[in-house]
Amino acid sequence: MRNDPGIVILDGARRTPRADILINNQKPGLFSRFSATQLGGMAIEATLDHSVDKGLVGHVVMGMAQHSHRDSIYGAQGMRWRGGLDNDVPALTVARICGSGVESLAVGSEMIMAGMRHNPDRPFLVVGGAESMQYPFCLFNYRGRPVGAGVQKYGPIDVKMLPSGSHLQDSLLMGLYDPGAEMNMANTAEELGRRYKITREECDELGAQSHLKAKQARDEGWFDEEIEPVAVQLDGAEEATMLKHDTHIMDDVSLQKMARLRAAFEPGGIITAGNASAVVDGAAAMVIGKESDAAKHGVEPLARIRTFATAACDPQIMGWGPVPAVRMALAQAGLKGDQIDHIELNEAFAPQALACIRDFAEMGIDPEKVNPHGSAIALGHPLGATGAILTLTCAYSMRRTKKKYGIVTMCIGGGQGNALILEAV
């Protein structure tokens, strides 16, 4: 994508906090009662409250990686009406797994540029992403059998009543295994660690720094303008609790505590619960449009979309995908690595992020400019929402610090990478 139409993200973009799927790995997370469409609707509603009149929105494009609730099949359409947009606004769900949130910006921008489905009377699009990682357990080998006491269509399962041959599987864990690579996502990061000779100590250091940077950003209020607090009604409480911040940030992180954690995916491996991305729920939305339409309707742009790139790589090192994607995006934009002021790299796993950072440095990108506010190890990775959330963080940070160029990039399960370049306006 070139910058000819001047596609911009409008000011007022908002996201929900990111909430752990479990509290202390025991109790249901604070967003466990919300579906992906509900979370996406919250983000859309908050964004429209701070942005353009909803009558100027002609289309909704939202990313979502996987179905997790009964209403998930409706995806962006459910987010659209929950966000307060009228029934005459169409909605599209896009899925490029971990890159879905950025893919929504690409698809929305291309719709505006192509013009075939663009409505000049409603020139703006809502884009973003949402993910409830409360993925269900799935019952297999029961289709076609009588539904009796063992399984109810809208009720509990009595596993003792299930016939032989039927079984339950965790769709969250199933989704993290890539049959093309013949390994789990975490094992692809372990493979990158071997190829780049990355140590456990380096991984723990990255994990600790992620938490320390995220804590500073939270405490300094750097996330405040992008987060819309969410009211959560806890069981037994008379009044709702306002969730204002991402929940996974550790206030007392240390390398000593990191070192005590055992390898999570391979004997002698370097990935632990402390240096891998947190599993959280969350959503983000923003409004995009032509720069000329923003001026016409008197709305302020937040950042200009300079270019997008999507690349592919060997699925056994899927975490390396950001490297060819960033290289391609820089070439498309006519920029050098040393011109990049801020880069948001999703930390799927510490060795994956470290491998990418090393190759970014060879492109001229300063490692100190990567994830200055922490990333997914501290903040979490709600798959279909992550790209949109990182875009908000990058754009607001660039405006606050008066920087020129930023990159948002992430690896994608199966062996891909997305990269978005933002330019200050």
Residue of 98, 203, 356, 394 marked active site: 98
> Token pair for residue 279?
């599993």
The model's confidence at residue 151, banded by pLDDT at 50, 70 and 90, is low
The model's confidence at residue 157, banded by pLDDT at 50, 70 and 90, is low
The model's confidence at residue 143, banded by pLDDT at 50, 70 and 90, is confident
Q: Which residue has the tokens 């990313």?
A: 63
Per-residue confidence (pLDDT) for residue 301, from 0 to 100: 97
Query: How far, in Å, are 113, 217, 331 from residue 3 at the CA level?
Result: 10, 31, 14
CB contact at 8 A, 424 and 405: yes
CB contact at 8 A, 129 and 107: no
Beta bridge partners of 227: 15
Write the pLDDT tens digit of every residue in 218-250: 999 999 999 999 999 888 788 899 999 999 999
Write the pLDDT tens digit of every residue in 335-351: 999 999 999 999 999 99
Query: How far, in Å, are 20, 21, 29, 44, 252 from residue 26 at the CA level?
Result: 11, 10, 9, 31, 20
Per-residue confidence (pLDDT) for residue 155, from 0 to 100: 54
Q: Which residue has the tokens 């109810």?
A: 152
For the chain, percent of residues with pLDDT exceeding 70: 95
Whole-angstrom distance, CA of residue 308 vs CA of residue 327: 11
The model's confidence at residue 8, banded by pLDDT at 50, 70 and 90, is very high
316, pLDDT greater than 80: yes
Q: Which amino acid, residue 341?
A: D
Per-residue confidence (pLDDT) for residue 117, from 0 to 100: 85
Of 16-30, 137-151, 177-191, 341-355, the poorest mean pLDDT is in: 137-151
The whole-number average pLDDT for the span 263-276 is 96
The whole-number average pLDDT for the span 324-341 is 98
Encode 405-414: b = buried (16+ Cβ within 10 Å), e = exposed. Answer: bbbbbbbbbb
For the chain, percent of residues with pLDDT exceeding 90: 83
Write the pLDDT tens digit of every residue in 370-407: 999 999 999 999 999 999 999 999 999 999 999 999 99
More confidently predicted of 239 and 423:
423
1, pLDDT greater than 50: no
The whole-number average pLDDT for the span 195-223 is 98
- Indicate the average pLDDT of the chain: 93
109, pLDDT greater than 60: yes
Query: How far, in Å, are 30, 40, 144, 406 from residue 218 at the CA level?
Result: 19, 22, 52, 20
Write the pLDDT tens digit of every residue in 173-188: 888 999 999 999 999 9
Beta bridge partners of 300: none
3, pLDDT greater than 70: no
CB contact at 8 A, 262 and 200: no
Whole-angstrom distance, CA of residue 405 vs CA of residue 401: 11
The model's confidence at residue 156, banded by pLDDT at 50, 70 and 90, is low
Q: At what angle do helices 350-362 and 200-219 cross, to 10 degrees?
A: 90
Whole-angstrom distance, CA of residue 165 vs CA of residue 412: 34
Of 9-23, 92-106, 174-188, the poorest mean pLDDT is in: 174-188
98 assigned to active site: yes
Residue of 203, 313, 356, 411 marked active site: 411
Close Cβ partners of 111 (under 8 Å, ≥ 6 residues apart): 59, 61, 117, 118, 125
Q: What is the pTM of this model?
A: 0.94
Per-residue confidence (pLDDT) for residue 24, from 0 to 100: 87
141, pLDDT greater than 90: no
What domains lie within the chain, and their CATH numbers? 7-135+279-419 (3.40.47.10)
The whole-number average pLDDT for the span 109-129 is 94
Per-residue confidence (pLDDT) for residue 44, from 0 to 100: 98
More confidently predicted of 122 and 161:
122
The whole-number average pLDDT for the span 66-71 is 90
The model's confidence at residue 25, banded by pLDDT at 50, 70 and 90, is confident
CB atoms within 10 A of CB 96: 24
Dihedral Cα 395, 401, 402, 406, nearest 10 deg: -40
3-state secondary structure 356-395: HHHHHHHCCCCHHHECCCCCHHHHCCCHHHHHHHHHHHHH
Residues belonging to the chain: 425
Whole-angstrom distance, CA of residue 234 vs CA of residue 33: 10
The whole-number average pLDDT for the span 276-290 is 97
CB contact at 8 A, 343 and 46: no
> Token pair for residue 61?
């494009």
